[in-house]
């Protein structure tokens, strides 16, 4: 994920007790977790977020806000956000796929499509669907082909095919493409080959792959993006954060408390390292 929801009120209410370095470590750990969408390794946590000299602060935050598993440290609340994000993107990708592949509408299942999208196996699933792809013929066309052998006259002009959306380029992942398409739709901006060609040209100016340029576009949330805005930031770019007020207990935090009871213990080597750091303090 290249962007995620940040509820200022919730964050402040649960982190007021943190020191400055602990707060910095928590923010960096969250950014790293959302960006890579995978557990944080036990041994390299401080190095991965650029805080080697403050390993004790990093381990303190991991022990309080993350769960230690065999794969590394995980954050249940972040996992929930990531799952919801992928499901939303999968739904958008499904809609675009159906619009472009009307002949497969009767064989593709929405839930199955979204599941393959979130699991990263969408290409294999689509290839399997292609074997069932057949041309669509309307009911009137079938009737004409079987009962009416008269040539088509000026009173029976074939219907013009409607335009379809631009296909995902081969060098762009489905997730990044789905994010960009969703952004364009939210801005009520067209998705045309001309717009895509413009993005390709701007990416070449920066010497970037197209996927990296589209990812940067999505992270900014703007209707358009120029190479010069990246080299020299656009003054109009501002980060807008919203607070979702609520007097009810946070379900995600309640789940964290429940998960803590069944979480795997922190590895002995990590505990030993923490003890060693405390001994030097």
pLDDT value of residue 163: 41
pLDDT bucket at 236, cuts 50 / 70 / 90: low
Percent of the chain topping pLDDT 90: 11
Residue 110 lies in a domain: yes
* Domain shared by 234 and 179, yes or no: yes
Higher pLDDT among residues 175 and 276, named by residue: 175
Give me Rg for the CA atoms of the chain.
25
Give the pLDDT confidence score for residue 111 in this predicted structure. 84
Domain count for the chain, please give it. 3
Give the residue-averaged pLDDT of 115-128.
81
Q: Are residues 216 and 276 in the same domain?
A: no
Assess if residue 223 is contained within a domain: yes
Predicted confidence (pLDDT) at residue 276 exceeds the cutoff of 50: yes
User: What does the pLDDT read at residue 234?
Assistant: 53
Residue 49 reports pLDDT greater than 70: yes
3-state secondary structure the chain: CCCCCCCHHHHHHHHCCCCHHHHHHHHHHHHHHHHHCCCECCCCHHHHCCCHHHHHHHHHHHHHHCEECCCCEECHHHHHHHHHHHHHHHHHHHHHHHHHCHHHCCCCCHHHHHHHHHHCCHHHHHHHHHCCCCCCCCHHHHHHHHHCCCCCCCCCCCCCCCCCCCCCCCCCCHHHHHHHHHHHHHCCCCCCHHHHHHHHHHHHHHCCCHHHHHHHHHHHCCCCCCHHHHHCCCCCCCCCCCCCCCCCCCHHHHHHHHHHHCCCCCCHHHHHHHHHHHHHC
Please provide the average confidence, as pLDDT, over all residues in the chain: 78
Supply the pLDDT for residue 21: 92
Is pLDDT at 254 greater than 60 in this prediction? yes
Give the per-residue pLDDT at 211: 92
Same domain for 56 and 16, yes or no, is yes
81 and 68 share a domain?
Answer: no
pLDDT of residue 91: 87
Q: Does pTM top 0.75 for this prediction? A: no
More confident residue, 44 or 58: 58
Is residue 250 in some structural domain? no
140 falls in which pLDDT band (50, 70, 90)?
Answer: very low
Residues 185 and 121 in one domain: no
Q: Above pLDDT 70, what percent of the chain?
A: 80
Q: Is residue 148 part of a domain?
A: no
Residue 246's pLDDT band (boundaries 50, 70, 90)?
A: low
**Highest-scoring range by mean pLDDT, 156-165, 217-226, 241-250:** 217-226
The reported pLDDT for the residue numbered 145 is: 45
Residue 70 resides in a domain:
yes
What's the rounded mean pLDDT across residues 47-65?
A: 89
Q: Is the pLDDT of residue 240 over 50?
A: no
Residue 141 lies in a domain: no
* Comparison of pLDDT for 86 and 174, the residue scoring more: 174
| Domain co-membership, 20 together with 68 | yes
- Do residues 12 and 66 both lie within one domain? yes
- Whether 19 has a pLDDT exceeding 90, the answer reads yes
Where residue 200 falls among pLDDT bands split at 50, 70, 90? very high
Domain enclosing residue 120, as ranges:
76-127
According to DSSP, the β-strands at 67-68 and 73-74 are antiparallel
Q: Would the pLDDT of 176 be above 70?
A: yes
Residue 152 lies in a domain: no
């Amino acid at each position: 994920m290249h962007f995620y929801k940040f509820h200022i009120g919730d964050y402040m209410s649960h982190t007021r007790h943190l020191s400055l370095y602990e707060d910095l470590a928590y923010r960096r750990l969250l950014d790293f977790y959302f960006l890579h969408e995978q557990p944080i390794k036990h041994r390299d946590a401080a190095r991965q977020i650029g805080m080697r000299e403050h390993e004790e602060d990093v381990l303190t935050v991991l022990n309080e806000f993350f769960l230690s598993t065999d794969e590394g440290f995980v954050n249940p609340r972040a996992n929930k956000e990531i799952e919801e994000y992928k499901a939303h993107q999968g739904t958008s990708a499904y809609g675009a796929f159906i619009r472009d592949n009307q002949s497969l509408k009767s064989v593709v299942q929405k839930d199955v499509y979204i599941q393959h999208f979130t699991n990263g196996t969408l290409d294999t699933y689509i290839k399997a669907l292609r074997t069932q792809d057949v041309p669509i013929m309307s009911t009137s066309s079938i009737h004409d082909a079987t009962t009416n052998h008269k040539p088509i006259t000026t009173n029976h002009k074939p219907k013009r095919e409607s335009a379809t959306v631009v296909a995902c380029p081969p060098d762009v992942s489905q997730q990044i493409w789905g994010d960009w398409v969703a952004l364009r739709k939210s801005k009520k901006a067209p998705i045309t080959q001309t717009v895509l060609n413009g993005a390709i040209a701007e990416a070449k100016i920066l010497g970037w792959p197209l996927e990296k340029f589209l990812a940067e576009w999505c992270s900014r949330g703007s209707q358009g993006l120029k190479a010069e805005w990246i080299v020299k930031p656009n003054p109009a770019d501002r980060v807008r954060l919203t607070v979702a007020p609520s007097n009810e207990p946070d379900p995600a935090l309640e789940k964290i408390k429940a998960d803590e009871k069944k979480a795997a213990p922190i590895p002995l080597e990590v505990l030993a390292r923490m003890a060693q750091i405390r001994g030097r303090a």
